[in-house]
């Protein structure tokens, strides 16, 4: 499983979240507490918003803890809305094109989870990507194809519906192919204004998703960034968290709840 975090609030240097927390993402990448896979060393990525319309992106195949550039960038880049992701590959190659977050225009997307039986579905899934989006298929991951399908399904106009349609589409295809492995999907999306985080699984093991409100900002992540796990809210499976203006709201997505085992 991958690990990730996202921040919304007063602009801060990225290092304050990436390095200076007691259980920061960089520390997490070396050893896990609440996740099954021990090491997240198969590439990492950053996406951040500033005054420009499209987000900044940084992808690297080295382990996050040994990338000297990351230390300097995190010390000099300031943002009020950013994503960070450390990858543990579930099969596809370690190269930059397979690193999260993925971007499209002003949108960022990152993901933890897995489409069960992806190797038997790649052909079908890629064929669902419409022609006008196909040149945005840079890598070979399930994560990227989910993102492109969400865009095809109206992400820019109605994210909640795009999420529901896309997951239903994938589950349907898994059913046709008689795949028994689950679809696990915890994802974070942003258009540069607000953040949407979804937690879902077709079985009862949805990848974890935590939120915490601080005075001037909100942090969400695959794990708490400190050891006071109690002060973090776990988003229930089948739910969505909507983060805007230093506040978050959690609500159920009825279609997702229906699709849960």
Alpha-helical runs (H) found in 48-152: 68-76, 118-128, 142-152
- In the list 20, 22, 33, 93, the residue contacting a copy of itself (rule: CB under 8 A) is 93
Whole-angstrom Cα distance, residue 147 to residue 151? 6
Neighbours of 215 (CB within 10 A): 7
Residue with tokens 């492109």: 148
Whose Cβ is closer to a copy of itself: residue 75's or residue 242's? 75
Q: Which tokens sit at 182?
A: 């689950």
Nearest distance in Å: CB 38, a copy of itself: 6
Residue with tokens 């942003």: 190
Contacts (CB under 8 A) with a copy of itself, residues 11-40:
30-31, 38-39
- Laid out side by side, the sheet with 210-213 consists of 56-60, 44-48, 78-86, 3-13, 217-221, 210-213, 233-234
Residue 158 lies near a copy of itself (rule: CB under 8 A):
no
Whose Cβ is closer to a copy of itself: residue 55's or residue 113's? 55
- In the list 42, 142, 164, 223, the residue contacting a copy of itself (rule: CB under 8 A) is 42
Quick note: the x/- pattern for a copy of itself over 47-86, rule CB under 8 A, is -x-x-x-x-xxxxxxxx--x-xx--xx-xxx---------
Whose Cβ is closer to a copy of itself: residue 90's or residue 161's? 90
Residue 213 lies near a copy of itself (rule: CB under 8 A):
no
Size of the site for a copy of itself (CB under 8 A): 46
Residue 10 lies near a copy of itself (rule: CB under 8 A):
no
- C-alpha distance from residue 161 to each of 45, 48, 80 (Å): 27, 25, 27
Tell me which residue of 124, 171, 132 sits closest to 152, measured CA to CA.
132
SS3 (DSSP) at 135: helix
Residue 129 lies near a copy of itself (rule: CB under 8 A):
yes
Neighbours of 185 (CB within 10 A): 26
Tell me which residue of 206, 102, 207 sits closest to 151, measured CA to CA.
102
Whose Cβ is closer to a copy of itself: residue 103's or residue 201's? 103
What backbone phi and psi angles, to 5 degrees, belong to 3? -130, 155
Cα-trace Rg, the chain: 17
Nearest distance in Å: CB 87, a copy of itself: 10
Nearest distance in Å: CB 135, a copy of itself: 6
Nearest distance in Å: CB 236, a copy of itself: 32
| Interface region with a copy of itself, contact rule CB under 8 A, candidates 88-96, 143-151, 213-221, 223-231 | 88-96
Task: Give the footprint of a copy of itself on this chain (CB under 8 A).
Answer: 30-31, 38-39, 41-42, 48, 50, 52, 54, 56-63, 66, 68-69, 72-73, 75-77, 89, 93-97, 119, 122-124, 126-127, 129, 131, 134-135, 137-140
């Amino acid at each position: 499983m991958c690990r990730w975090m996202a921040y919304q609030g007063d602009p801060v240097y990225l290092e304050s979240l990436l390095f200076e927390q007691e259980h920061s993402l960089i520390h997490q990448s070396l050893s896990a507490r609440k996740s099954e896979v021990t090491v997240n060393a198969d590439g990492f990525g950053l996406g951040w918003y500033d005054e420009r319309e499209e987000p900044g992106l940084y992808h690297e195949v080295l382990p996050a803890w040994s990338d000297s550039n990351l230390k300097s960038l995190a010390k000099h880049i300031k943002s009020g809305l950013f994503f960070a992701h450390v990858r543990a590959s579930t099969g596809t190659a370690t190269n930059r094109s397979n690193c999260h977050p993925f971007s499209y225009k002003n949108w960022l997307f990152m993901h933890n989870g897995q489409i069960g039986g992806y190797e038997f579905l790649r052909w079908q899934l890629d064929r669902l990507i419409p022609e006008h989006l196909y040149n945005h298929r840079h890598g070979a991951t399930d994560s990227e194809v989910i993102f492109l399908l969400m865009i095809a399904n109206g992400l820019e106009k109605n994210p909640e519906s795009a999420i529901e349609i896309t997951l239903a589409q994938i589950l349907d295809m898994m059913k046709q192919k008689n795949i028994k492995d689950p679809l696990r999907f915890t994802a974070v999306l942003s258009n540069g204004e607000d953040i949407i985080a979804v937690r879902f699984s077709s079985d009862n093991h949805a990848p974890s998703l935590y939120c915490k409100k601080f005075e001037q900002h909100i942090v969400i992540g695959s794990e708490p960034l400190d050891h006071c796990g109690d002060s973090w809210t776990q988003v229930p499976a089948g739910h969505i968290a909507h983060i805007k203006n230093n506040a978050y709201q959690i609500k159920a997505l009825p279609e997702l709840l229906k699709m849960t085992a």
